[in-house]
Structure 1
């Protein structure tokens, strides 16, 4: 089943929202969808796909938006169901990456809650922070990240990082990223982190050593890297000393 109101909710401020009526009419004319005799919601006509394959294909296209919107409403159960449905339906490319990010974030939060670990909550700017340094006599860029980051805060972090790492650019470099104070971050912020990783690789980032002692944070970090589809050389360590030793073994 589908309804005009549901499509409008998915599209929200999208410029295509004004095209819903003519689009539905065209789909009816082409016999892709049909009107039903039932009325589930007052004022809404019930519509259905004529064939199950068409329905499944349409659901695969919509699940990333549905999953992200459920996450924004803090409806974690619905977000996880939508994400898994999209993956099972054969989502690919950017849609699959978005679904994997939602899935990883929700699973990490649920695991943290069940295990008594740190569970993200709406954070103020004071609870979100980062620190940068270039280690003396090396080509290692150090980062320490704290809090559950919003999209706006992540954008500021990226701008500041690009400025701070500038002295290392032009030659291969590496990173130590201490995420022990970091909490599972929303999918929109995770997308920006993937864009940063793509930029860093183009700017000759060779290796990244993540310091993560908490398993839920490590889970999401791994999922973000996997969903990026990028060829990233990275390892996870419990302490900064272990992370630095690994990088120095490789000439940094």
Structure 2
């Protein structure tokens, strides 16, 4: 028999050979912080047919002020996941778990349930003509704005930019011609707002008003005219323009800009 003393959470386990018939954790697993990782390293050291035995107080059987020494049913289900054979015995407030034949499956993915609406997200796309002029639409609400809009479910920001460009202006661009420059974060009416700054590098067609209930007209604008547009700029469009031409627009409302490499 050989006695090895080590901390199974922080020490290297090189001294623990592979091929144990029995590994027992008695009244100790509740005090282990990274239980999944520790049990993974121990189960790797079981020989075929070997057993890992966990003896633990059950949360329902201890006073509330001693909850930290016990595991509840959710925690027990978590530690027994990944074993082909699980035997459980109950003994005076203790659960005795005998785990045999560890198995592995590809990790599964899931959601936490339907989330409550939290933020607005969309894309603004900058396209320029052969003369370097940028396309802006005059909104029915007043002011100028870039082509763009909210992204649909399961749609990337560049996909949204290409789709919105076609729906609003009739200009056609390939997905490979849309380059994500940055993600911009600000808020409107107390709601977080994410705007993707997208640069369209190529397109075909001529701009036409496709959604007259939103945009009255599309015009190509000289870049140097933007700081003095009489009708003003939609704030997210201004922030996207400032991403493409940094420092062009003075006194912009604050925004968190996260450039994309």
Q: Which structure dedicates a bigger proportion of its chain to helix? A: 1
Question: TM-score, normalised on structure 1?
Answer: 0.26
TM-score normalised over the length of structure 2: 0.25
Higher strand share: 2
